[in-house]
């Protein structure tokens, strides 16, 4: 029998394995009166070499393993346990409605009802779900968001985590993580209909929530890489230079006036994709209202994104600060860095919150 049960005080970090960069967040829950507040314990950001992960598939495992080991080392996290998220083409997310049964019967019932909606055999996928209570739905029925992840893809991620000497304790949908983070950081959005748009490098996650529950989730294969690619092509630049130009930095021989129309062209494409998603949501639910749009992900740092989306959708738009309600010791962390990079950490924050939440 162990003298100390270290597992009881198990610490878990949220690790966002993005194709552009890994992000790590570790939190500690603290009691403050009746409430639980969270304190930041460790934070990490580690770029992933270009094309090591393409559309959610790991192409260069050595590079990803190195990056995982490095981010843990740099962030000085003392744990090897993590939660990570899945998104994109390896995940099928569907919203269904099922008859309301007793809590004991619900699990089997949902899995049975899920079968015709998942275009794979049960052996090929792992299925998870979240029950949604909504006044759109008849009281005898409940809404369910189903998520099926291809085991093959999941195993690729689990393998690199094992090779990195880490242990995956929790697997979540990136979209649920994003929502979790927003609801923890902005209490007012627990009472509203909001759309969170997380624009990464290759994937844009859209999650719509009503009164604090997810009602619609979709991942669009579109992101910041599209801006870089077109800047590269139109202005005849190397990848690194195109990235700098996109981020608004001065690059010799490139005038900002030449960049703007290229960025606007991609913004329009992104807007069209998001509009299609909103239309689909509106046509599939009785209540299609969206009160606020919140944007996160690396591409939320594009200077004109808030103005562009506000004008196009005529809904108030705001960039998410996933540290809004999180206690941070200024002696331990670089507040300037956190302020500049905040929206990038939305997924990792949600994963960290989920991890500590599961331990409570």
Considering CB distances under 5 to 8 angstroms, the limit depending on partner class, which of Mg ion, ligand ATP, none binds residue 77? Answer: none
Helix or strand run (H / E) with residue 86: strand 81-86
Question: Minimum distance from CB of 18 to Mg ion (Å)?
Answer: 4
Q: Give the binding range for Mg ion (CB under 5 A) out of 17-25, 222-230, 258-266, 286-294.
A: 17-25
Which are the contacts of 62, defined by CB distance < 8 A and separation ≥ 6?
Answer: none
Beta bridge partners of 354: none
Counted residue by residue, the chain has a size of 360
Contact 144, 106 (CB under 8 A): no
Alpha helices in the chain (DSSP H): 61-75, 103-114, 151-163, 174-185, 224-234, 239-246, 256-284, 305-313, 335-341, 346-359
CB of 236 to ligand ATP, least distance (A): 19
What binding mask, one character per residue, do residues 333-352 give for ligand ATP by CB under 6 A, x or -? -----------x--------
Q: Which of 133, 170, 164, 149 is nearest to 219 (CA)?
A: 149
Closer residue to Mg ion, CB minimum distance, 143 or 200: 200
Q: Is 343 in the site for Mg ion (CB under 5 A)?
A: no
Alpha-carbon span 282 to 285, nearest angstrom: 6
- Asked if 301 is part of the footprint of ligand ATP (rule: CB under 6 A), the reply reads yes
Cα radius of gyration rounded to whole Å, the chain? 21
Q: Are 71 and 104 in contact (CB under 8 A)?
A: no
The residue among 180 and 285 lying less far from Mg ion, judged by its C-beta, is 180
In the complex, the smallest distance separating the C-beta of residue 46 from ligand ATP, rounded to whole angstroms, is 10
**Helix (H, G, I), strand (E, B), or coil: what is residue 116?**
helix
**263 makes contact with ligand ATP (CB under 6 A):** no
x-marked contacts with ligand ATP along 237-256 as a string, rule CB under 6 A: ------x--xx---------
* 214 binding ligand ATP? (CB under 6 A): no
Least distance in angstroms from the C-beta of 117 to ligand ATP: 25
Among 298, 322, 326, 349, binds ligand ATP (CB under 6 A): 298
Residues near Mg ion (CB under 5 A) are: 18, 200
Residues near ligand ATP (CB under 6 A) are: 16, 18-21, 200-203, 223-225, 228, 243, 246-247, 297-299, 301-302, 344
């Amino acid at each position: 029998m162990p003298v100390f049960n270290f597992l009881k005080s198990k610490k878990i970090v949220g690790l966002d394995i993005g194709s552009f960069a890994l992000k790590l967040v570790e939190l500690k829950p603290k009691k403050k009166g009746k409430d639980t507040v969270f304190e930041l314990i460790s934070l990490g950001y580690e770029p992933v070499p270009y094309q090591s992960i393409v559309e959610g598939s790991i192409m260069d495992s050595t590079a990803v393993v190195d990056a995982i080991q490095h981010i843990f080392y740099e962030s000085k996290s003392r744990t090897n346990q993590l939660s990570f998220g899945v998104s994109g083409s390896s995940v099928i997310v569907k919203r269904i409605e099922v008859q309301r049964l007793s809590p004991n019967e619900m699990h089997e019932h949902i899995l049975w009802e899920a079968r015709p909606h998942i275009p794979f055999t049960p052996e090929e996928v792992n299925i998870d779900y979240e029950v949604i209570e909504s006044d759109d739905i008849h009281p005898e029925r409940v809404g369910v968001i189903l998520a099926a992840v291809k085991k093959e893809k999941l195993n690729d991620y689990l393998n690199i985590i094992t090779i990195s000497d880490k242990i995956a304790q929790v697997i979540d949908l990136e979209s649920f993580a994003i929502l979790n983070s927003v609801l923890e950081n902005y209490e007012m959005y627990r009472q509203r209909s909001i759309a969170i748009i997380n624009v990464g490098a290759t994937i844009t996650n859209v999650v719509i929530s009503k009164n604090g529950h997810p009602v619609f989730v979709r991942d669009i294969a579109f992101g910041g890489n599209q801006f870089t690619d077109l800047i590269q092509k139109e202005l005849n630049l190397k990848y690194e230079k195109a990235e700098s130009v996109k981020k608004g930095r001065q690059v010799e021989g490139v005038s900002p006036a030449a960049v703007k129309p290229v960025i606007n062209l991609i913004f329009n494409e992104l807007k069209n994709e998001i509009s299609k998603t909103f239309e689909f949501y509106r046509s599939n639910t009785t209540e299609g209202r969206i009160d606020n749009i919140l944007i996160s992900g690396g591409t939320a740092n594009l200077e004109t994104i808030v103005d562009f989306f506000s004008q196009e959708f005529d809904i108030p738009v705001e960039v998410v600060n996933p540290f809004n309600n999180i206690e941070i010791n200024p002696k331990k962390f670089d507040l300037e860095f956190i302020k500049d990079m905040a929206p990038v950490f939305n997924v990792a924050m949600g994963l960290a919150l989920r991890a500590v939440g599961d331990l409570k």
